[in-house]
Structures are given as structure tokens and as C-alpha cells.
Amino acid sequence: MVSLTSAKRVVIKVGSALLVDRKTGTLRSGWLEGLAQDVAWLKKNGVQVALVSSGSIALGRRVLNLSEKDLALEQSQAAAAVGQIQLARAYEEAMAPHGTTTAQVLMTLEDSHNRRRYLNSRATLEQLINLGALPIVNENDTVATDEIRFGDNDRLAAQIAATIGADMLILLSDVDGFYSANPNDDLTAFRYDVIDKITPEIESQAGDAGSGLSKGGMKTKLLAAKTATAAGCAMAICHGAALRPLTALENGADATWFTATLDPQTARKRWIAAMKPCGTVTLDAGAKRALYNGNSLLPAGVNNVTGGFERGDPVSILGPDGHQLGLGLSRYTALEAEKIKGHQSAEIEVLLGYPGRAALIHRDDMAL
């Protein structure tokens, strides 16, 4: 059995069907208080936590007296705008007794596909977690259209887990795991305890969404599992209806675990190492030593910049002799890097005319 307290960083996904009463459309405040106790328990045990929560549209549609049928895009966006405020307030009130500050983070698909925005969102989430806050992430349904949406929070949760280097992702759902078939239709269906590899046979056993409030089904959960495990993050699907769902999982509640073969840091470095560089930065001897000692690359250690790269693009990191040391994701454009090379980080604002990040390439964004 996997212990949640053994994880360094956990992402927990909360589905609409758990958070919002299906009949009344109101928040299940008692359940949320139990979840808050579980989050506080994890944090007390030294585990860093981020939440990905559905529920804004489900909450907003009741306030706006919208029907329970499928909503038009503009109706969904309006419901989300109303519901997001209610959702944020609910989490704030639930976590306040435990001394935890909550932070709302709204994202779209573009925030993960665009490298510049990806790095910005990653830096924000890292800062919030390191400051002890609880990020509560949701898709920004007020502006998302079909072209720029995840479409479900299972995949969003997996992307967040990969982005922040989580080693565990828990999908709290209205099912207790992944089954060989729909157990409501097939009496021979069985639940998998552990899935080490998502095979074509496993994929063929996934069904579609079954809840009236949630958009995700088993197919989206499998896609989430692929994203998470490839990033070195183990994933669990479990029933979240218990008042202390994470405690129940810790105590052996039924679930399906998808195992990861790599740790998050190794998986991320492999991802970076496979990229095609858009330019180069050449270091002095001191910067080279600093990198091999596990430090970030500061502008002061850069002698030369080539290429036309943008923020978030991969660049080759060259030693003083021109040999490649590795690859990294630049936090500055080539033009900006040219201006700040050889200068101290404290001089960046004067040189560029606006404040910037201290590192040209952060140590977490390089593969040597």
C-alpha cells in the first residue's frame, strides 16, 4: 500500500460531483471541511500540496438559475464567473481554521503549451507552495473556448502535477478505481489495484463520462495517467465520497494506482534534453563550475549569446571551450540575454528597464 505521507509533493483533484450536491446544486460544505482536515494533516507531515478543483460552473449555474441541461458556451462562461468566486471563498473558509492561506490560480491550455506562459505559471505555483500557501487551480472557464481548453480537470491536474514536479497525483472521483468494464453494466468487471503500464487493452476498457456534473470519464483519467506517469508522478483513482477521503485512502480504501518508472526530476530533465535548441549561451569557467555544483546560471557567468530564442525556448549551454554542457530553458529572450550577459543580477532592472528574474536559466530548467 502506498502511503501519502511518503510523498514530497501531492496534487489532489476534486471533482464536481463530490463538491456540489447534484440535486440542490449547493456546496457540500461538510465534505469540504473533511478534505481541509486531510490537507492540513498532509501539510503537518511535511507534504507540499496543491489542489485542482472543479465546481465553479456547477455552483454558478444554480445562482444564475440555469437549467441542468448542457449549457451554451456563453452560459458556461457566465456560470464559471459567478461560481469561481463562491469556490474560492469556500476553500478559503475551509482552510482558515488550519492556518493555511489559499490562492486561486486560473489556467487555460495555452498556459501549458506556450513555453513562456508555462514557465511563468510554474514559477508562480512554486513560489506559492514554498511560501506555505495552498494553490487551488481550476480551468479558466470564463475565457476558455474549445480551442484553448483542457476540457476536463483530470488532464489539467496531471499537467499541474508534471509542471510542479509532484511525485503523487490523487484523483478524488465518484468511482473507486479503474475497472475492466463498466461495473454497472457488466457483473464480471473487476477493479485493477495497480497498473504498471497503460496497454492498448487497458485503453479499450475505458468508458465515457457518467456523472451529470463532471465532464471527465475514464478515458480522460487514462490520459491523465499517461501524462502524470511519464513525468515521474504516480497517480491514484479513488472514491472521494468519504468525509476524510485522503485518510480513507491512507488506511487502505479501494483505489487503482498507476505507477511511475522515473522520479519527477529525472523525467523533466529527459524532456528538456530531447528538445531542439534555438540558440546558445557560452559560459565562463566560474559559471561552469557553479552549474556542476548544482547552481542556476546567472547572467554574470555568460560571455556570449547566439540565436533568436524567446523566453521559455531551449538553448544549448556551452563551456568556455565551446563544447556543449547541456540544454536549458531560457528565462529571457536572446535580445534580453545579450543586454544582461556579464552583469550582476541586481543590474537587470537598470539594463532592461523592468525587473527580471535573477537566473538566466534556473537549475530546475536545465539538463546537463
**pLDDT band of 12, cuts 50, 70, 90:** very high
Q: Per-residue pLDDT tens for 88-118?
A: 999 999 999 999 999 999 987 777 767 778 8
Per-residue pLDDT tens over the stretch 255-279: 999 999 888 888 888 888 888 899 9
Give the pLDDT mean for 138-159.
73
Among candidates 204, 208, 106, 205, which has minimal Cα distance to 153? 106
Residue 26 belongs to a domain:
yes
Domain ends where: 241, 265, 289?
265
Confidence of residue 186 (pLDDT cuts 50, 70, 90): confident
Amino acid at 214: S
Residue at 270 is within a domain: no
Based on the fold, state whether residues 122 and 99 are members of the same structural domain: yes
Helix (H) or strand (E) run with residue 39 in it: helix 29-44
The CATH number of the domain where 252 resides is what?
3.40.1160.10
Nearest to 53 by CA among 171, 209, 132: 171
The domain boundary residue, chosen from 204, 235, 265 = 265
Helix ranges restricted to H, 96-188: 110-113, 115-130, 153-164
Element housing 282 (H / E): strand 279-283
Total domains, the chain: 2
Q: Domain containing 9: what range? A: 4-265
- Residue 183: inside a domain: yes
Q: Specify the higher pLDDT residue, 144 or 284.
A: 284
**Do 94 and 175 fall into the same domain?**
yes
Buried (b) or exposed (e) across 129-153, using 16+ Cβ within 10 A? beeebbbbbbbbbbebeeeebbebb
How far apart, in whole angstroms, are the C-alpha atoms of residue 360 and residue 309? Answer: 13
Q: Which residue type is seen at 359?
A: A
Q: Tell me: do 136 and 284 sit in the same domain.
A: no
Instruction: Look at residues 202, 235, 265 and tell me which one is the last residue of a structural domain.
Output: 265
Which cell numbers in the block locate residue 96? 482558515
pLDDT digits (tens, 9 = 90+) for 217-259: 788 899 899 989 989 999 999 999 999 999 999 999 999 999 9
Confidence of residue 151 (pLDDT cuts 50, 70, 90): low
Q: What's the pTM value of the predicted model, to 2 decimals? A: 0.82
